[in-house]
């Protein structure tokens, strides 16, 4: 029987000194991600492998010892998917941060999972190329984490989510074998699409050690439009009509009045919304030249038609960046009011106004701030509950609001997660959404690939 010390010795021998962490003062920072509601435990150890070979050694050693593995990137997640469980080994991929190849002719990049999203974007820009997925934490989240949760971001309306930019993966399976999925070609339908199976699986099926990513030509500097509305319904009507008329901006974001107020206070600036603004719609077009101007003019007309109080477009890069920075700063801005937990529901785009109105009602019921921002272009909304973490009552009410919002999302024909994942916080909601047959299929796939329930047990769903 393998003892705790035997396992630690094996891991240290395989990875080297300084890459197997057991000091509780050090490992504590690896116990949980950014979601305060999700449960987390105390790991036996935190390991930092440097390549796929070391990942395979960790997997084999843990499998032999019967010790579960929780894969983890930078910890920017918002569902508890990378949270430790008692006695596990947390496998952190941040040392695997090499951009192995950028192939401009075939418009692809090959990267390790620890590469930071923004670093990849910067590296491929030098070749006139663009990696589209851009989660709000893109300046510190890693590609591996993006893959594991199928992360989205602000550009999803035009460019899709992470899975839309992945050609192939390299994955360490539960027996330590290395699986290669997908290909480097644009087309290919040989066999099951195993690449998409692992994307969004939250580390429950294997450990991603390499990804081949599709790149796009670098877009031109975008034009930016902002529109202010005195009612949420009018903003929602604008979104619906923009979609119905076939206009596809590169970005379409919505902010409610509480979010606007918080950002203006935080950045010490005015967004031009004015008093009485209930919602702000922010759009960009990166089509370039006259095409971008025509696109923004069409969006402007829609906003005017549905009663916008203010519509303003700019092709000044600095002004556009300021508006976009305001949208990205919302969560940080809310910290002036207290701690926060952000929800992640996606509804049909015609139901965005209904969701925001429901969040206003829930906010009144729990007597807590519930500002809403989101990706209006695809209906993915992020209601964020603000609370006092030192108050047990407020924490309980925040938890209630979190779940009430998920219930509303499902009732509107939506999903309980658009991009953050299920993790350890929405397991019961996954079952509600996909039903018993869907859950049975999930369990069957998990059992086939990970019969010992080695990888991230208890995340997404329980095995029984």
pLDDT tens per residue across span 350-367: 999 999 999 999 999 999
The pLDDT of residue 69: 98
Q: Specify whether the CB–CB gap between 272 and 310 falls below 8 A.
A: yes
Q: What are the structure tokens assigned to 201, written together?
A: 């699986």
Q: Does residue 142 sit in helix, strand or coil? A: strand
Give 273's pLDDT tier (boundaries 50, 70, 90). low
Give 109's pLDDT tier (boundaries 50, 70, 90). very high
Q: What is the pLDDT of residues 279-321, one digit of tens each?
A: 999 999 999 889 999 999 999 999 999 999 999 999 999 999 8
Q: Specify whether the CB–CB gap between 48 and 19 falls below 8 A.
A: yes
Give 399's pLDDT tier (boundaries 50, 70, 90). very high
**Range with top average pLDDT, 77-81, 170-174, 221-225, 332-336:** 170-174
Which residues pair with residue 169 across a beta bridge? 181, 211
Q: Specify whether the CB–CB gap between 239 and 311 falls below 8 A.
A: no
Mean pLDDT of 96-124: 98
- Could you give the maximum distance between any two Cα atoms of the chain, in Å? 73
The pLDDT of residue 392: 95
- Domains located in the chain, CATH noted: 4-92 (3.30.43.10), 99-217 (3.30.465.10), 220-329 (3.30.70.3450), 337-429 (3.30.70.2740)
pTM attached to this predicted model: 0.92
Name the nearest CA neighbour of 403 among 345, 340, 462: 345
The pLDDT of residue 422: 95
Tell me, rounded to whole angstroms, the distance of Cα 384 from its chain centroid.
Answer: 15
pLDDT at 266 over 90: no
Q: What is the pLDDT of residues 402-438, one digit of tens each?
A: 999 999 999 999 999 999 999 999 999 999 999 999 9
Q: What is the pLDDT of residues 26-58, one digit of tens each?
A: 999 999 998 888 899 999 999 999 999 999 999
Q: Quickly list DSSP for 254-303.
A: EEEHHHHHHHHHHHTS--S--TT--EEEEEEE-S-HHHHHHHHHHHHHHH
Q: Specify whether the CB–CB gap between 260 and 273 falls below 8 A.
A: yes
Q: Specify whether the CB–CB gap between 247 and 298 falls below 8 A.
A: yes
pLDDT at 132 over 90: yes
The pLDDT of residue 269: 78
Q: Specify whether the CB–CB gap between 327 and 255 falls below 8 A.
A: yes
* Mean pLDDT, rounded, of the chain: 94
- Separation in Å, CA 40 to CA 36, 69, 139, 347, 458: 10, 14, 25, 29, 11
Alpha-carbon distance of 363 to 235, in angstroms, equals 20
Tell me, rounded to whole angstroms, the distance of Cα 262 from its chain centroid.
Answer: 22
Alpha-carbon distance of 52 to 293, in angstroms, equals 47
Q: Which helix (H) or strand (E) holds 333?
A: helix 330-334
Residue appearing with tokens 């949420």: 232
Q: What is the pLDDT of residues 142-168, one digit of tens each?
A: 999 999 999 988 888 899 999 999 999
Mean pLDDT of 124-149: 94
């Amino acid at each position: 029987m393998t003892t705790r010390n035997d396992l630690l010795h094996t891991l240290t021998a395989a990875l080297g000194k300084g890459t197997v962490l057991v000091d509780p003062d050090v490992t504590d920072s690896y116990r949980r991600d950014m979601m305060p509601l999700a449960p987390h435990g105390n790991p036996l150890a935190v390991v930092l492998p440097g390549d796929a070979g070391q990942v395979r050694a960790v997997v084999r050693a843990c499998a032999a010892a019967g010790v579960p593995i929780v894969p983890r990137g930078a910890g920017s997640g918002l569902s508890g998917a990378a949270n430790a469980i008692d006695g596990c080994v947390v496998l952190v991929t941040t040392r695997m941060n090499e951009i192995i190849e950028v192939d401009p002719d075939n418009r692809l990049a090959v990267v390790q999972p620890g590469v930071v999203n923004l670093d990849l974007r910067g590296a491929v820009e030098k070749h006139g190329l663009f990696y589209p997925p851009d989660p709000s934490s893109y300046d510190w989240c890693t590609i591996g984490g993006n893959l594991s949760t199928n992360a989205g971001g602000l550009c999803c309306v035009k460019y899709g989510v992470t899975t839309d930019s992945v050609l192939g993966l390299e994955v360490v399976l539960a027996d330590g074998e290395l699986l290669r999925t997908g290909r480097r070609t644009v087309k290919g339908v040989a066999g099951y699409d195993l690449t998409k199976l692992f994307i969004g699986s939250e580390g429950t099926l294997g450990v991603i050690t390499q990804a081949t990513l599709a790149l796009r030509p670098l877009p031109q500097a975008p034009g930016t439009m902002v529109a202010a509305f005195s009612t949420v319904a009018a903003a929602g009507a604008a979104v619906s009509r923009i979609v119905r008329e076939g206009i596809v901006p590169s970005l379409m974001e919505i902010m409610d009045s509480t979010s606007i107020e918080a950002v203006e206070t935080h950045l010490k600036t005015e967004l031009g919304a004015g008093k009485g603004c209930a919602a702000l719609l922010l759009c960009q077009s990166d089509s370039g030249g006259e095409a971008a101007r025509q696109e923004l003019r069409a969006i402007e007309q829609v906003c005017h038609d549905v009663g916008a109080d203010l519509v303003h477009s700019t092709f000044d890069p600095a002004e556009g960046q300021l508006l976009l920075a305001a949208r990205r700063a919302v969560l940080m801005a809310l910290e002036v009011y207290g701690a926060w937990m952000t929800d992640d529901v996606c509804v049909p785009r015609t139901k965005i106004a209904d969701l925001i109105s429901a969040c206003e009602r829930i906010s009144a019921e729990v007597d807590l701030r519930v500002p809403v921002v989101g990706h209006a272009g695809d209906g993915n909304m992020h209601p964020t509950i603000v609370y006092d973490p030192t108050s047990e009552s407020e924490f309980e009410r925040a938890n209630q609001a979190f779940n009430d919002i998920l219930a509303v999302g499902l009732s509107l024909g939506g999903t309980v997660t658009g991009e953050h994942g299920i993790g350890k916080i929405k397991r019961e909601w996954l079952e509600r959404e996909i039903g018993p047959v869907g859950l049975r299929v999930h369990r069957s796939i998990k059992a086939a690939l990970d019969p010992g329930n080695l990888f991230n047990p208890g995340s997404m769903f329980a095995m029984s």
